[in-house]
Amino acid sequence: MQTHLADFIRNTIEGREADAILRKCVHCGFCTATCPTYQLLGDELDGPRGRIYLMKQVLEGVTPTSTTQLHLDRCLSCRNCETTCPSGVQYGRLLDIGRVIVEQQVERTEVEKLKRKLLRLVIPYRNRFGPLLKIGQFFRPFLPKPLKQATPAARAAGVWPQADKHDRRMLVLNGCVQPAIAPDINSATARVLDQLGIGLTTANDGCCGALSYHLSAHDEALGFVRQNIDAWWPYIEQGVEAIVITASGCGVMVKDYGYLLRHDTDYAKKAATVSDLTKDISEVLYTEDLTKLKTKSNKKVAFQAPCSLQHGLKLSGKVEDILARLGFSLTTVPDTHLCCGSAGTYSILNPVISNQLKKRKLEALCSEQPDIIATANIGCLTHLESEATVPVVHWINLIAAMSHEK
Amino acid sequence: MSIAPKAENPSLQSQRARVASDLRRVVATDSVLDEEESLRPYECDGLSAYRRLPLVVVLPDTVDQVQQVVRYCHDNDIPIVARGAGTGLSGGALPIEDGVVLSLAKFNKVISVDKDNRTAVVQPGVRNLAISETVSHLGLYYAPDPSSQIACTIGGNVAENAGGLHCLKYGLTVHNVLEIKIVTIEGDLVTIGSNALDSPGYDLLALMTGSEGLLGIIVEVTVKLLTKPDCAKVIMASFDDIEKAGNAVANIITAGIIPGGLEMMDNAAIRVTEDFVHAGYDVEAAAILLCELDGTPEEVDDEIERVKLVLEQSGYTQMQVAKDDNQRQLFWSGRKSAFPAVGRISPDYYCMDGTIPRKTLGSVMSKVDELSRQYDLRVVNVFHAGDGNLHPLILYDGNVEGELERTEELGGAILDLCIEVGGTITGEHGVGMEKIDHMCIQFDTLELSQFHAVKQAFDTKRLLNPDKAVPTLHRCAEFGAMHVHKGQLKFPDIERF
Ligand SMILES: Cc1cc2nc3c(=O)[nH]c(=O)nc-3n(C[C@H](O)[C@H](O)[C@H](O)COP(=O)(O)OP(=O)(O)OC[C@H]3O[C@@H](n4cnc5c(N)ncnc54)[C@H](O)[C@@H]3O)c2cc1C
Ligand code: SF4
Ligand code: SF4
């Protein structure tokens, strides 16, 4: 596509990157077809091609108003459009650049600012989010329905086997909300890997940075990134094989560390090493010999592929393959490519669209009456769980539970 | 003749405010777009070299709203451009400065499916592929499959009489639609066609199909569905020379075989699509042919053998039958994404859409190659080879001054070539804004007058997509003055301006 970037951005790193992305877009419109918000709203401004155009205008020097901001806010960052785009347009990167500029040029209302600030102040910090959640869980039986739905029930952490009995070692990201909401995911991962002869340890890491990054607070995000790299580095020097991520949303972010810090002279190399070592838990299991795990289950499982897993990490089909190899029967789920509406903080900031997408997703997931829904990302898990009529778990918990039955 | 935005006339702005506020009495406030910021993304369709800012964009979601919007425009002499998914490649949905863009995108529901009679009633904004997906569990599908089927709407398909990979055997849109409902420019809801295969009187449905939004707004479509074939297999054959591949196409048809689909891609197209779909295409070949055969397993096996023989005689270098249905789908999915995949190697492309008699395929290919060198612009070739529909994609860079103009000249030369060998200027993408001047070459004054008479009968005030598809005789006269075809003025009988 023809571009004429404005002086303020043309010769910056972001400007050059955005220009290259825009020029790749040939305006064919294929991407609109798989965009969840376009499907719901039917306005091109709520689809990728229109959003690209809106951002192009801003980059070409048109001062945006809250209209552009609204349509960019409504984007789920699900990156379904990237999977669909035959031309290889990196929409997600363009959006990261575009959103920051629009954020600088359009003043939000005080309420909106406060909401965003609160999210950034609470969620990424385990010591802030954890206690708040505990209070919520304590009062859960007395909460009104919407709040109750939004507050996940407490889960037991589960046993974490000793890591040092194995020669093979991996590190797992703790992250921010997952240890508070579902501490059983990482412990299940540790037990499954234990059976495969891999010891799993943790470091004193924190939020992966995705939350701040997607709220256009890039510097804040990079702060988290550097902290995590520092926390992991000693383990990397000791030779951990991989940094395992059990929330695909965080996986996308950590795999991007190398890219995000590519111009940081102190961190570029380390960040690249971290990204290289990063693996979603499905990537780990996919290449392991799974015969050591118990392989019979009569559970009918509906798998929900998070956008971060299929469109972000491009790992479509891996989890399904693993579960099938282990003897689970998987239901056929229509429209697997569509977002469930969780999308990080989206469910809080855009509840109406988010709920519509959740309803559609649950209908699709339940179309063949599964016993259980499995997912790969904590955000999707809590979002779906709030209204699902069957249990929703991380798929690794299915495997861990099965082995337990031995 | 590309169109780029100009500075806006201030009187348009007050008109914009008035029209927007009037239309907001009919549809929801946020379904009328009137800020320049929101209108820009609607300034073009899939042919982004042609851009014009509309007066307003309106996004109704009921037929009643469409009727009211159209009536309002009719009463106030405001032009209307209908828009589906905006994937058109001829600028058909290009807005008009003082006109309304009427988007049908919110009409995206399948209304009903009749399994026994194998029909489906759908809203105009339903995506082509969504129809087949909806009825797939019944063993049915909607046959016409434009490469853009993932995104383009059935309303847009009817308006363009869209073709697709499987149209060689199963026909174009016109052969697969039974009935449509349109809103006329007066705002009346009219049903055209019937559920039966034929209906009494003139075949208005055929007239409407391909009318490019000039005769009415399509608000409902009843399509014919087909039973999925028991078996479908696709052969991929490589050639070391594009002319040989072209001749192979002609040979297959001459042998009396009608494949489900017969497509050809040249080396550049093969490479860019392989990059996207990883289908296992032969990236060394000068050209590949994809030939699909479908029917009962016995039929298919028999035809595969026959096609193999013809390909052998035509001098293929490699041949492979897709090993399973997954790979078959992948072969097609690569072909379907060929245009946009070109974005990987060039910032812009200009897609031509001429048709030629199949027997000239080989020689036309060589001439296109010659022209490409002459104009110093790369051309990537993708075709619906089976029906002689060429899609040379001229690669250019819109940021380089003069390249677009040179591209259009080359495009014009290719269309001239098509007419010269006895073909036409459009196979399936429509005339729209893009090929309007070439209509003057393809048709003579009398023919064009007849087209205008038809338009007049439906739309006396000329408000529906007014400057598209059929050029005014004045326009042809002006164009004729510039474009002397084979040393002859095309419209010697028209006064020149
Ligand atoms: C990559 C790519 C590949 C393509 N491949 C093919 C192909 O293989 N075969 C093919 O035939 N075409 C192809 N096309 C062209 C295009 O997709 C078709 O012309 C399609 O039918 C347009 O549908 P749309 O919904 O996008 O319509 P639009 O582009 O929105 O509109 C097209 C025309 O139809 C009119 N229109 C739209 N909806 C209505 C309505 N409801 N009532 C009245 N008029 C209406 C518009 O005014 C306009 O004139 C391709 C396009 C792209 C970008
Ligand atoms: S699919 Fe890709 S090239 Fe086509 S409009 Fe979308 S982003 Fe642009
Ligand atoms: S990221 Fe998702 S919501 Fe955003 S434009 Fe792409 S497909 Fe649509």
Domain ranges of chain A: 7-105, 110-150, 168-286, 300-405
Please check whether the two domains, A168-286 and A300-405, share a CATH topology.
yes
Report CA torsion sign: A63, A69, A70, A76.
positive
Q: Taking CB atoms and an 8 Å cut-off, how many pairs form between chains A and B?
A: 121
Compute, in angstroms, the gap from residue A90 CA to the centroid of ligand 2: 10
Would you call B24 exposed, middle or buried from its count of C-beta atoms within 10 A (0-12, 13-18, 19+)? Answer: middle
CATH of segment(s) B10-103: 3.30.43.10
Report CA torsion sign: B58, B62, B66, B71.
negative
Query: Nearest ligand, CA of residue B338?
Result: 1
Contacts of residue A32 in chain B, CB cutoff 8 Å? 85, 151
CB contact under 8 Å between A28 and B339, yes or no, is yes
Cβ contacts of B261 within 8 Å, gap of 6 or more: B165, B166, B168, B169, B234, B290, B291, B292, B332, B386
Per 3-state DSSP, chain A is made up of helix, strand and coil in percentages (nearest 5) of 55, 5, 35
Closest by Cβ to B340, choosing from A38, A50, A87:
A87
Closest by Cβ to B398, choosing from A1, A29, A50:
A1
Q: HSE of A196 in the Cβ direction (CA atoms, 13 Å)?
A: 23
To the question of domain B110-227 being in CATH 3.30.465.10, the answer is yes
How is residue B304 written in tokens? 């595969």
Compute, in angstroms, the gap from residue A399 CA to the centroid of ligand 1: 48
CATH of segment(s) A300-405: 3.40.50
Q: CB of B275 within 8 A of CB of B307?
A: no
Per-residue pLDDT of chain A (406 residues; tens, 9 = 90+): 889 999 999 999 999 999 999 999 999 999 999 999 999 999 999 999 999 999 999 999 999 999 999 999 999 999 999 999 999 999 999 999 999 999 999 999 999 999 898 888 888 887 777 777 777 777 677 767 766 777 777 788 889 999 889 999 999 999 888 888 899 999 999 999 999 999 999 999 999 999 999 999 999 999 999 999 999 999 999 999 999 999 999 999 999 999 999 999 999 999 999 999 999 999 999 999 999 887 677 889 999 999 999 999 999 999 999 999 999 999 999 999 999 999 988 998 999 999 999 999 999 999 999 999 999 999 999 999 999 999 999 999 999 987 755 4
The C-alpha atoms of residue A10 and residue A23 are separated, in whole angstroms, by 13
- A16, A27, A56, A83: best mutation site toward chain B, by most B Cβ within 10 Å? A27
Q: Is A36 in the pocket of ligand 3 (CB under 6 A)?
A: yes
CATH of segment(s) A7-105: 1.10.1060.10
Compute, in angstroms, the gap from residue A82 CA to the centroid of ligand 3: 8
Closest by Cβ to B41, choosing from A54, A86, A87:
A54
Q: CB of B462 within 8 A of CB of B78?
A: no
Cα separation of the two ends of chain B: 18
Q: CB of A176 within 8 A of CB of A129?
A: yes
Q: What ipTM was predicted for this assembly?
A: 0.92
Backbone angles phi, psi at B17, to 5 degrees: -60, -40
Beta pairing partners, B395: B349
Q: CB of B171 within 8 A of CB of B145?
A: no
Going from N- to C-terminal start, the domains of chain B cover: 10-103, 110-227, 231-340, 439-496
Q: CB of B18 within 8 A of CB of B55?
A: no
Compute, in angstroms, the gap from residue A44 CA to the centroid of ligand 1: 15
Cβ contacts of A275 within 8 Å, gap of 6 or more: A254, A255, A256, A257, A258, A259
Q: HSE of A86 in the Cβ direction (CA atoms, 13 Å)?
A: 30
How is residue A394 written in tokens? 């991380």
Report CA torsion sign: B71, B72, B75, B81.
negative
Q: Beta strand B231-239 with B217-224: parallel, antiparallel or unpaired?
A: unpaired
Contacts of residue A42 in chain B, CB cutoff 8 Å? 59, 61, 103, 105-106, 108, 125
CB contact under 8 Å between B349 and A85, yes or no, is no
Tell me the nearest-neighbour CA distance from A54 into chain B, angstroms.
Answer: 7
The C-alpha atoms of residue A377 and residue A309 are separated, in whole angstroms, by 8
Mutate-to-test residue for ligand 2 from A3, A21, A22, A27, highest number of ligand atoms within 8 A of CB? A27
Contacts of residue B41 in chain A, CB cutoff 8 Å? 44-45, 49-50, 53-54
To the question of domain A168-286 being in CATH 3.40.630, the answer is no
Q: Is A13 on the interface with B (CB under 8 A)?
A: no
Alpha helices (H) along B393-435: 403-420
Compute, in angstroms, the gap from residue A123 CA to the centroid of ligand 1: 46
DSSP state of A155: -
CATH topology for B231-340? Alpha-Beta Plaits (3.30.70)
